[in-house]
């Protein structure tokens, strides 16, 4: 693993830790908070699974295909999360803050997976699969 990859992973872990701290400060685990966490974890796991599958397939078709896929995926996730935050803001039973902070932890975990998959492919240490 290159020093650049290690530094990137350290930054991502630090960001996830900051999100956990923010979560403890800003989220009350009442029913709405728990519902927000469930939605964040659910969408986060879907993001991890689909993102890993799409990224590995794109990397098999070359780096240009992978970069287009990664950039497109980023914008899709951005639109979905922003839309859900706005929807949850209007629903009293779901905390949009709990959702957003929980999902962001999974988002940064997925970025770490992307970094590792791309680094493995670039260094020729095996396919991304």
Tell me how far apart the alpha carbons of residues 78 and 28 are, in angstroms, rounded to a whole number.
25
Phi/psi region, residue 124 (left: phi>0; alpha: psi -120 to 50; beta: rest), is: left
H/E run at residue 89 = helix 63-89
**Res 19 pLDDT > 60:** yes
Interatomic CA distance for residues 76 and 107, integer angstroms: 12
Nearest-angstrom CA–CA distance, 128 and 122: 10
Task: Read off the pTM.
Answer: 0.79
- The dihedral sign for the CA sequence 89, 94, 100, 103: negative
Looking at per-residue pLDDT, the higher value among 4 and 39 belongs to 39
pLDDT in tens, 54-93: 888 888 888 888 888 888 988 998 999 999 999 999 998 9
pLDDT at 129: 43
SS3 of residue 124 by DSSP = coil
């Amino acid at each position: 693993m290159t020093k650049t990859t290690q530094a990137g992973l350290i930054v991502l872990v630090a960001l996830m830790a900051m999100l956990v701290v923010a979560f403890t400060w800003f989220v009350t685990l009442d029913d709405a908070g728990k519902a927000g966490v469930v939605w964040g974890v659910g969408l986060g796991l879907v993001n991890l699974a689909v993102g890993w599958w799409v990224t590995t397939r794109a990397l098999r078709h070359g780096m240009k295909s992978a970069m287009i896929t990664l950039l497109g995926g980023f914008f899709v996730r951005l639109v979905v999360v922003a839309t859900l935050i706005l929807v949850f803001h209007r629903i009293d039973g779901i905390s949009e803050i709990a959702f957003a902070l929980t999902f962001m932890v999974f988002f940064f975990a997925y970025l770490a997976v992307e970094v590792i998959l791309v680094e493995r492919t670039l260094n020729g240490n095996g396919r991304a699969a």
